[in-house]
Amino acid sequence: MNKLSTNNLFDIQVFVLLYESLNATAVSQALGVPTSKVSRSLKSLRHSLNASLFVRKQQGFERSQLADDIYPKMKRIVELAKRCEQADLGYQSARKRELVIACPSSLSLNLLHALQQKACAQQQDFLFHLTACSSNTVDLLKQQHVDIAVTCCPYNTEQISSELITKSDSYVLMARTEHPLFTGNRAIDIDAICDYPYISFSSNELHDAIDPLASYALDTQRKLDMVLKVCFLADLMLELEQTNAVALLNHSDAIEFLCRRGDIKAVALDNDFSSQISQRSGQNHYYLTQMRNDRNYPQWVSEEIQKYIQANVIVKSGGAS
Protein backbone atom coordinates (compact mmCIF):
# COMPACT_ATOMS: atom_id res chain seq x y z
CA MET A 1 0.00 0.00 0.00
CA ASN A 2 2.99 2.36 0.52
CA LYS A 3 3.46 2.45 -3.26
CA LEU A 4 0.05 4.06 -3.74
CA SER A 5 1.71 7.47 -3.43
CA THR A 6 3.09 7.01 -6.96
CA ASN A 7 -0.45 7.18 -8.36
CA ASN A 8 -2.14 10.47 -9.12
CA LEU A 9 -5.65 11.68 -8.42
CA PHE A 10 -6.77 10.70 -11.92
CA ASP A 11 -5.98 7.03 -11.21
CA ILE A 12 -8.07 7.19 -8.05
CA GLN A 13 -10.95 8.84 -9.92
CA VAL A 14 -10.84 6.05 -12.49
CA PHE A 15 -10.99 3.44 -9.73
CA VAL A 16 -13.94 5.09 -7.97
CA LEU A 17 -15.97 5.53 -11.15
CA LEU A 18 -15.30 2.00 -12.34
CA TYR A 19 -16.17 0.58 -8.92
CA GLU A 20 -19.54 2.34 -9.07
CA SER A 21 -20.40 1.69 -12.72
CA LEU A 22 -18.44 -1.49 -13.61
CA ASN A 23 -18.30 -0.05 -17.13
CA ALA A 24 -15.01 1.22 -18.61
CA THR A 25 -16.77 3.04 -21.45
CA ALA A 26 -18.92 4.97 -18.98
CA VAL A 27 -15.77 5.93 -17.03
CA SER A 28 -13.98 7.21 -20.14
CA GLN A 29 -17.05 9.26 -21.10
CA ALA A 30 -17.39 10.71 -17.60
CA LEU A 31 -13.74 11.79 -17.55
CA GLY A 32 -13.56 12.74 -21.23
CA VAL A 33 -10.62 10.48 -21.98
CA PRO A 34 -10.11 7.44 -24.27
CA THR A 35 -10.65 3.98 -22.81
CA SER A 36 -6.96 3.24 -23.34
CA LYS A 37 -6.12 5.85 -20.70
CA VAL A 38 -8.59 4.25 -18.30
CA SER A 39 -6.88 0.90 -18.88
CA ARG A 40 -3.45 2.41 -18.18
CA SER A 41 -4.68 3.90 -14.91
CA LEU A 42 -6.06 0.57 -13.77
CA LYS A 43 -2.78 -1.11 -14.70
CA SER A 44 -0.87 1.51 -12.70
CA LEU A 45 -3.03 0.91 -9.63
CA ARG A 46 -2.72 -2.85 -9.99
CA HIS A 47 1.07 -2.50 -10.16
CA SER A 48 1.19 -0.22 -7.11
CA LEU A 49 -0.99 -2.49 -4.99
CA ASN A 50 0.43 -5.71 -6.42
CA ALA A 51 -3.12 -7.06 -6.58
CA SER A 52 -6.09 -7.11 -8.91
CA LEU A 53 -8.95 -4.71 -8.21
CA PHE A 54 -11.38 -5.95 -10.84
CA VAL A 55 -12.00 -9.18 -12.71
CA ARG A 56 -13.00 -8.73 -16.33
CA LYS A 57 -16.21 -10.55 -17.25
CA GLN A 58 -18.08 -10.92 -20.53
CA GLN A 59 -20.62 -8.29 -19.52
CA GLY A 60 -18.25 -5.92 -17.70
CA PHE A 61 -16.24 -6.13 -14.49
CA GLU A 62 -16.54 -7.78 -11.09
CA ARG A 63 -15.15 -6.12 -7.95
CA SER A 64 -12.45 -7.90 -5.95
CA GLN A 65 -12.41 -8.03 -2.15
CA LEU A 66 -9.53 -5.53 -2.15
CA ALA A 67 -11.62 -3.14 -4.23
CA ASP A 68 -14.44 -3.40 -1.67
CA ASP A 69 -11.99 -2.72 1.15
CA ILE A 70 -10.32 0.39 -0.29
CA TYR A 71 -13.31 1.95 -2.05
CA PRO A 72 -14.60 4.06 0.91
CA LYS A 73 -11.18 5.69 1.39
CA MET A 74 -10.66 6.22 -2.34
CA LYS A 75 -14.12 7.77 -2.57
CA ARG A 76 -13.25 10.04 0.33
CA ILE A 77 -10.06 11.21 -1.42
CA VAL A 78 -12.04 12.14 -4.55
CA GLU A 79 -14.67 13.99 -2.50
CA LEU A 80 -12.00 15.95 -0.60
CA ALA A 81 -10.30 16.85 -3.87
CA LYS A 82 -13.57 18.17 -5.28
CA ARG A 83 -14.16 20.24 -2.16
CA CYS A 84 -10.69 21.74 -2.43
CA GLU A 85 -11.38 22.74 -6.04
CA GLN A 86 -14.55 24.52 -5.01
CA ALA A 87 -13.15 26.20 -1.94
CA ASP A 88 -12.79 29.94 -1.82
CA LEU A 89 -10.11 30.09 0.85
CA GLY A 90 -10.75 33.74 1.56
CA TYR A 91 -14.52 33.91 1.80
CA GLN A 92 -15.90 30.39 1.87
CA SER A 93 -19.15 30.32 3.79
CA ALA A 94 -19.94 27.57 6.24
CA ARG A 95 -21.72 24.62 4.66
CA LYS A 96 -24.19 22.24 6.13
CA ARG A 97 -23.09 18.64 6.26
CA GLU A 98 -25.54 16.43 4.35
CA LEU A 99 -26.45 13.17 6.03
CA VAL A 100 -28.44 10.57 4.07
CA ILE A 101 -30.57 8.23 6.21
CA ALA A 102 -32.47 5.28 4.74
CA CYS A 103 -35.49 4.30 6.81
CA PRO A 104 -38.82 2.52 6.23
CA SER A 105 -41.41 5.15 5.30
CA SER A 106 -43.82 4.18 8.07
CA LEU A 107 -41.05 4.62 10.66
CA SER A 108 -39.67 7.97 9.54
CA LEU A 109 -42.68 10.32 9.83
CA ASN A 110 -41.24 12.37 12.70
CA LEU A 111 -37.63 11.21 12.57
CA LEU A 112 -36.50 14.30 10.66
CA HIS A 113 -37.97 16.61 13.31
CA ALA A 114 -36.33 14.63 16.12
CA LEU A 115 -32.92 14.82 14.43
CA GLN A 116 -33.24 18.54 13.70
CA GLN A 117 -34.09 19.27 17.33
CA LYS A 118 -31.13 17.22 18.56
CA ALA A 119 -28.76 18.91 16.09
CA CYS A 120 -29.95 22.30 17.33
CA ALA A 121 -29.35 21.26 20.94
CA GLN A 122 -25.85 20.09 19.95
CA GLN A 123 -25.27 23.36 18.05
CA GLN A 124 -24.39 21.42 14.92
CA ASP A 125 -25.63 22.16 11.42
CA PHE A 126 -26.78 19.20 9.32
CA LEU A 127 -28.81 18.83 6.15
CA PHE A 128 -30.73 15.61 6.82
CA HIS A 129 -31.89 13.67 3.77
CA LEU A 130 -34.39 10.87 4.45
CA THR A 131 -34.91 8.17 1.84
CA ALA A 132 -36.78 4.86 1.82
CA CYS A 133 -34.95 1.57 2.29
CA SER A 134 -34.58 -0.69 -0.72
CA SER A 135 -33.02 -4.02 -1.63
CA ASN A 136 -29.74 -2.28 -2.56
CA THR A 137 -29.41 -0.24 0.65
CA VAL A 138 -26.27 -2.16 1.67
CA ASP A 139 -24.59 -1.38 -1.67
CA LEU A 140 -25.52 2.28 -1.23
CA LEU A 141 -23.90 2.23 2.22
CA LYS A 142 -20.70 0.77 0.77
CA GLN A 143 -20.67 3.37 -1.98
CA GLN A 144 -21.34 6.12 0.61
CA HIS A 145 -24.54 7.24 -1.09
CA VAL A 146 -26.29 6.41 2.20
CA ASP A 147 -24.68 7.14 5.57
CA ILE A 148 -26.88 5.17 7.94
CA ALA A 149 -29.94 2.91 7.57
CA VAL A 150 -32.74 1.38 9.59
CA THR A 151 -33.29 -2.11 8.19
CA CYS A 152 -35.56 -5.05 8.94
CA CYS A 153 -32.77 -7.60 8.43
CA PRO A 154 -29.23 -7.74 9.83
CA TYR A 155 -26.26 -7.23 7.50
CA ASN A 156 -23.01 -8.12 9.22
CA THR A 157 -19.94 -8.26 7.00
CA GLU A 158 -16.36 -7.05 7.21
CA GLN A 159 -17.54 -3.58 6.14
CA ILE A 160 -21.13 -3.40 7.41
CA SER A 161 -22.53 -3.82 10.92
CA SER A 162 -26.14 -4.16 12.07
CA GLU A 163 -27.15 -3.54 15.68
CA LEU A 164 -30.59 -4.62 16.92
CA ILE A 165 -32.70 -1.60 17.92
CA THR A 166 -35.92 -3.33 18.95
CA LYS A 167 -38.33 -6.10 18.02
CA SER A 168 -42.07 -6.57 18.16
CA ASP A 169 -44.78 -9.17 17.57
CA SER A 170 -47.69 -6.81 18.26
CA TYR A 171 -50.20 -5.57 15.70
CA VAL A 172 -52.94 -2.96 15.39
CA LEU A 173 -55.94 -3.48 13.10
CA MET A 174 -56.67 -0.51 10.80
CA ALA A 175 -59.98 0.06 8.95
CA ARG A 176 -62.45 2.85 8.20
CA THR A 177 -64.23 4.25 11.26
CA GLU A 178 -67.63 2.76 10.39
CA HIS A 179 -66.26 -0.65 9.46
CA PRO A 180 -68.54 -3.54 10.48
CA LEU A 181 -65.79 -4.98 12.68
CA PHE A 182 -65.95 -1.82 14.81
CA THR A 183 -69.71 -1.35 14.93
CA GLY A 184 -70.75 -4.84 16.10
CA ASN A 185 -69.98 -7.00 19.08
CA ARG A 186 -68.00 -9.59 17.15
CA ALA A 187 -64.58 -10.45 18.53
CA ILE A 188 -61.69 -9.50 16.27
CA ASP A 189 -59.96 -12.78 15.52
CA ILE A 190 -58.55 -14.50 12.45
CA ASP A 191 -62.00 -15.63 11.27
CA ALA A 192 -63.40 -12.10 11.54
CA ILE A 193 -60.49 -10.59 9.62
CA CYS A 194 -60.68 -13.22 6.89
CA ASP A 195 -64.27 -12.16 6.15
CA TYR A 196 -62.97 -8.88 4.69
CA PRO A 197 -60.46 -7.84 2.02
CA TYR A 198 -56.95 -7.56 3.41
CA ILE A 199 -54.25 -5.04 2.44
CA SER A 200 -50.68 -6.12 3.12
CA PHE A 201 -48.64 -3.12 4.26
CA SER A 202 -44.88 -3.50 4.39
CA SER A 203 -41.90 -1.17 4.40
CA ASN A 204 -39.40 -4.03 4.57
CA GLU A 205 -36.41 -3.45 2.28
CA LEU A 206 -36.80 -7.01 0.96
CA HIS A 207 -39.55 -7.08 -1.65
CA ASP A 208 -40.17 -10.82 -1.19
CA ALA A 209 -40.86 -10.55 2.55
CA ILE A 210 -43.79 -12.76 3.58
CA ASP A 211 -46.81 -11.09 5.14
CA PRO A 212 -47.21 -12.45 8.71
CA LEU A 213 -51.02 -12.62 8.57
CA ALA A 214 -50.88 -14.46 5.23
CA SER A 215 -48.51 -17.00 6.80
CA TYR A 216 -50.77 -17.42 9.82
CA ALA A 217 -53.88 -17.87 7.65
CA LEU A 218 -52.05 -20.50 5.62
CA ASP A 219 -50.94 -22.38 8.73
CA THR A 220 -54.45 -22.38 10.18
CA GLN A 221 -56.04 -23.31 6.84
CA ARG A 222 -57.98 -20.07 6.46
CA LYS A 223 -58.54 -18.27 3.18
CA LEU A 224 -57.24 -14.70 3.37
CA ASP A 225 -58.51 -12.36 0.64
CA MET A 226 -55.36 -10.29 0.07
CA VAL A 227 -56.32 -7.61 -2.46
CA LEU A 228 -53.34 -5.23 -2.37
CA LYS A 229 -49.73 -4.86 -1.28
CA VAL A 230 -48.70 -1.27 -0.51
CA CYS A 231 -45.70 0.43 1.08
CA PHE A 232 -46.89 4.06 1.26
CA LEU A 233 -49.23 5.36 3.95
CA ALA A 234 -51.14 7.65 1.57
CA ASP A 235 -52.07 4.68 -0.64
CA LEU A 236 -53.13 2.67 2.40
CA MET A 237 -55.26 5.52 3.76
CA LEU A 238 -57.18 5.97 0.50
CA GLU A 239 -57.92 2.25 0.16
CA LEU A 240 -59.03 1.86 3.77
CA GLU A 241 -61.34 4.88 3.58
CA GLN A 242 -63.04 3.79 0.37
CA THR A 243 -63.47 0.05 1.00
CA ASN A 244 -64.13 -2.50 3.72
CA ALA A 245 -60.53 -3.63 3.58
CA VAL A 246 -58.42 -3.99 6.73
CA ALA A 247 -54.68 -3.81 7.40
CA LEU A 248 -52.22 -4.46 10.21
CA LEU A 249 -49.57 -1.99 11.43
CA ASN A 250 -47.24 -1.75 14.42
CA HIS A 251 -45.67 1.71 14.10
CA SER A 252 -47.30 4.27 16.40
CA ASP A 253 -46.54 7.38 14.31
CA ALA A 254 -47.98 5.75 11.18
CA ILE A 255 -51.11 4.71 13.07
CA GLU A 256 -51.58 8.20 14.50
CA PHE A 257 -51.06 9.73 11.05
CA LEU A 258 -53.77 7.55 9.47
CA CYS A 259 -56.26 8.20 12.27
CA ARG A 260 -55.72 11.97 12.23
CA ARG A 261 -55.63 12.48 8.48
CA GLY A 262 -58.21 9.93 7.40
CA ASP A 263 -61.57 8.56 8.48
CA ILE A 264 -59.79 5.57 9.99
CA LYS A 265 -59.85 3.80 13.33
CA ALA A 266 -57.23 1.64 15.02
CA VAL A 267 -57.85 -1.26 17.40
CA ALA A 268 -54.97 -3.14 19.00
CA LEU A 269 -55.07 -6.92 18.71
CA ASP A 270 -54.63 -8.72 22.00
CA ASN A 271 -51.20 -10.08 22.80
CA ASP A 272 -52.13 -13.73 22.33
CA PHE A 273 -53.56 -13.14 18.84
CA SER A 274 -50.57 -11.00 17.85
CA SER A 275 -48.17 -13.70 19.07
CA GLN A 276 -50.06 -16.35 17.10
CA ILE A 277 -49.70 -14.26 13.93
CA SER A 278 -45.94 -14.07 14.48
CA GLN A 279 -45.45 -17.78 15.17
CA ARG A 280 -44.45 -18.65 11.59
CA SER A 281 -42.89 -15.42 10.31
CA GLY A 282 -41.25 -14.48 13.60
CA GLN A 283 -41.06 -11.13 15.35
CA ASN A 284 -40.48 -7.90 13.46
CA HIS A 285 -36.87 -6.81 13.95
CA TYR A 286 -35.34 -3.39 13.37
CA TYR A 287 -31.60 -2.83 13.02
CA LEU A 288 -29.30 0.16 12.85
CA THR A 289 -27.11 -0.66 9.85
CA GLN A 290 -23.98 1.34 9.02
CA MET A 291 -20.35 1.11 7.97
CA ARG A 292 -18.03 -0.30 10.60
CA ASN A 293 -15.51 2.43 9.80
CA ASP A 294 -15.42 5.70 7.83
CA ARG A 295 -18.44 7.20 9.60
CA ASN A 296 -18.65 10.93 8.98
CA TYR A 297 -21.26 11.77 11.61
CA PRO A 298 -21.23 12.08 15.41
CA GLN A 299 -22.36 9.29 17.75
CA TRP A 300 -25.45 11.20 18.84
CA VAL A 301 -27.00 10.74 15.37
CA SER A 302 -27.02 6.95 15.77
CA GLU A 303 -28.28 7.22 19.33
CA GLU A 304 -31.11 9.59 18.39
CA ILE A 305 -32.26 7.31 15.56
CA GLN A 306 -32.31 4.31 17.88
CA LYS A 307 -34.21 6.26 20.53
CA TYR A 308 -36.83 7.36 18.00
CA ILE A 309 -37.33 3.86 16.54
CA GLN A 310 -37.64 2.30 20.01
CA ALA A 311 -40.37 4.80 20.90
CA ASN A 312 -42.19 4.32 17.58
CA VAL A 313 -42.40 0.53 17.37
CA ILE A 314 -45.26 -0.97 19.39
CA VAL A 315 -43.63 -3.67 21.49
CA LYS A 316 -46.79 -4.80 23.29
CA SER A 317 -50.40 -4.56 22.19
CA GLY A 318 -52.73 -2.07 23.77
CA GLY A 319 -50.99 1.07 22.52
CA ALA A 320 -53.63 2.31 20.05
CA SER A 321 -57.30 3.10 20.20
- Per-residue 3-state assignment (H helix, E strand, C coil) for 27-82: HHHHHCCCHHHHHHHHHHHHHHHCCCCEEEECCEEEECHHHHHHHHHHHHHHHHHH
User: Average of pLDDT values for 36-65?
Assistant: 86
Q: What is the pLDDT of residue 205?
A: 59
Q: What is the pLDDT of residue 265?
A: 95
Q: What is the pLDDT of residue 89?
A: 46
CATH architecture entry for 97-166+285-312: 3-Layer(aba) Sandwich (3.40)
User: Average of pLDDT values for 13-20?
Assistant: 91
Average pLDDT, the chain: 86
Q: How confident is the model at residue 320 (pLDDT cuts 50, 70, 90)?
A: very low
- Domain-by-domain residue ranges, the chain? 2-82, 97-166+285-312, 172-282
Q: Which of the listed CATH numbers 3.40.190.10, 3.40.50.1820, 3.30.70.1350, 1.10.10.60 matches domain 172-282?
A: 3.40.190.10
Q: How many residues in the chain? A: 321
Q: What is the pLDDT of residue 240?
A: 95
Say if residue 136's pLDDT is above 80. yes
CA distance 293 to 296: 9
Best-predicted range by mean pLDDT (83-92, 157-166, 197-206):
157-166
